[in-house]
Structure 1
Amino acid sequence: MEDQINRLVDKTWTKFQEVPRSRRLLIAVSGIPGSGKTTLAAIVAKRLDDLHARQSPATHNETPLATFVPMDGYHLSRVQLDALPDPVTAHARRGAAFTFDGDSFLTLVKKLREPICPESQTLYAPSFDHAKKDPVADDISIVPSVRIIIFEGNYLSLNKSPWKDAAELMDELWFVEVDFKVARKRLVHRHVKAGIAKDEEDAGKRADENDLVNGTEIVEGRLDVHELLKSLDDKTWAPESQGVGDGKDEQPDKEMATFV
């Protein structure tokens, strides 16, 4: 696991050295729910920022160079789900591609692709409040000095607009593969721990009827990617940072994974 993450950090850092000062390096990490993509994206972003702090202490000034932006904030709100033609299905399938505001995400990516200049303003992305079960607008700030952005989300390599349009604007696409049985076990644990399922049977039903249905679409509709990583169970490794959920109302939870 460490070797793989170190390789990705080194690769990204080397690639960043060739990026003009007026431009950002954008990487999108995707995978099915429970794949471990959140953990991977968060660790790589943190390691890159730590590397910048060590190598360029005079310019760091406690301002991050790299940041991690999860896609949870682009969930449609519960009010928006209520307004869809079939609100019952929309709520039940929350986490499916049609329950995300992909157009707003594409708008952000386009803005991040504009040249950085002295007049550039801070940009904002939404986060997700798991207690309120809704997005929080403009909660993640991206200041002009942030020049490496690691996005994470289920659909960031999906061959369907607007996701594929955003993917075309990325410098790299990474995809985390996982066996569906491994993902299901993680999702069951997550749903029970978060209190959104009353027991393992209920959590398994949620995983089978929504998360893994979405996972099939994600795998079958995947674009070609630059990095294809395999996520395996690893009960001996605790990740450095907690991930956020993969699509529904779950609380943040740790993934236990090795990436090979």
Structure 2
Amino acid sequence: MDSDPSPADPAALARRALALTPPEGRTIVGIAGSPGSGKTTLARAVVAAANAEAGAEAGAEVAAYLPMDGFHLADATLEALGRRERKGAIDTFDGWGFLALLQRARADRANTVYAPAFDRTVGEPVAGSIAIDPGVRLVVVEGNYLLAPVEPWARIPGLLAESWFVATPEAERLRRLIERHVRHGRTPEAARAWAIEVDGANARLIEPTATTATLIVDGGLPVAAA
């Protein structure tokens, strides 16, 4: 692991990721981090930079973005399980389904691999809304728990060429989270409570996993919240 945070330079990170990708193979790079760290923004930027650098020559996209959030359990399921009030915790995701999708995304280059995304406007996953085409050589997956040392999450690092952890100061993460929760309909008071009590509890599990990442990326820049 590189101990000193590297700048969040999407172009440089895209070149690094593409260098890990064999000409006829497919590589998965994982971006982990706590809620509000900026990992979604960074992942999307890395994919865009990779496609800008390599895609123009190939005539098609060579990189695809894959978020863990598409594997949120539905609200009705969370209600039935009694977990609705801590949505976003590690046991509110379909971890085994996410693992299976990553395994297929890495191995299956003969067919388009469809994956769910998360629609923040309705707060629910949307099935089959991401397409990883056969020509994609680099998949950038991002999520809170990519490095969590519990089953089935502990199996994910073995599928990754590298793992990058977005390290962002707690105060900045909190600011971004409150803004995000307000934007999606919570009052400022409810937004702050959720950011501290629910997102904060998740961050206490996630932050120690940075020590197992290949690279630490500085997420303290004024980017949109992940």
Q: 1:50 and 1:24 mapped to 2: Cα distance?
A: 18
Please, which of 161, 181, 188 is the counterpart of residue 151 of structure 2? 161
Tell me, yes or no, if the aligned pair for 2:7 and 2:218 is still in contact at 8 Å. no
Counterpart of 1:103 in structure 2 is 96
Q: What code does the residue aligned with 1:25 have?
A: T
Q: 1:192 and 1:94 mapped to 2: Cα distance?
A: 16
Tell me, yes or no, if the aligned pair for 1:69 and 1:150 is still in contact at 8 Å. yes
Please, which of 181, 187, 191 is the counterpart of residue 198 of structure 1? 187
Q: 1:221 and 1:198 mapped to 2: Cα distance?
A: 31
The answer to whether structure 1 residue 28 and structure 2 residue 27 are counterparts is no
Counterpart of 2:198 in structure 1 is 210
Please, which of 117, 137, 148 is the counterpart of residue 147 of structure 1? 137
Please, which of 32, 55, 64 is the counterpart of residue 67 of structure 1? 64
Tell me, yes or no, if the aligned pair for 1:13 and 1:48 is still in contact at 8 Å. yes
Q: 2:40 and 2:106 mapped to 1: Cα distance?
A: 23
Tell me, yes or no, if the aligned pair for 1:67 and 1:150 is still in contact at 8 Å. yes
- Segments of structure 1 that go 5 or more residues without pairing to the other structure are 240-253
SS in structure 1 of the partner of residue 149 of structure 2: coil
Please, which of 24, 46, 49 is the counterpart of residue 48 of structure 2? 46
Deviation string, structure 1 residues 85-136 (Cα, Å, up to 9, x no partner): xx1xx111000000001101110111123253xxx21111111222332111
Task: Select the structure with the greater relative contact order (CA < 8 A; seq sep ≥ 6).
Answer: 2
1:1-260 correspondence to structure 2 within 5 Å: 4-16=9-21, 19-21=22-24, 23-54=25-56, 56=57, 59-60=58-59, 63-84=60-81, 87=82, 90-114=83-107, 116=109, 120-195=110-185, 197-199=186-188, 201-222=189-210, 224-234=212-222, 254-255=224-225
Distance 1:185 1:3, change over 3 A: closer
Tell me, yes or no, if the aligned pair for 1:159 and 1:223 is still in contact at 8 Å. no
Deviation at 1:69, TM superposition (A): 1.0
Identity percentage over the alignment? 33
Tell me, yes or no, if the aligned pair for 2:112 and 2:134 is still in contact at 8 Å. yes
Deviation string, structure 1 residues 199-249 (Cα, Å, up to 9, x no partner): 2x2211111110011001011344611111122143xxxx6xxxxxxxxxx
User: C-alpha root-mean-square deviation of aligned residues, in Å?
Assistant: 1.9
Q: Which has the higher helix share?
A: 2
Q: 2:220 and 2:120 mapped to 1: Cα distance?
A: 26
SS in structure 2 of the partner of residue 83 of structure 1: helix
Q: 2:86 and 2:169 mapped to 1: Cα distance?
A: 22
Q: 2:121 and 2:180 mapped to 1: Cα distance?
A: 15
TM-score of the two chains, using structure 1 as the length reference: 0.79
Q: 1:100 and 1:125 mapped to 2: Cα distance?
A: 14
Q: 1:141 and 1:230 mapped to 2: Cα distance?
A: 29
TM-score of the two chains, using structure 2 as the length reference: 0.90
Distance 1:194 1:115, change over 3 A: closer
Q: 2:195 and 2:145 mapped to 1: Cα distance?
A: 17
The structure that has the greater radius of gyration is 1
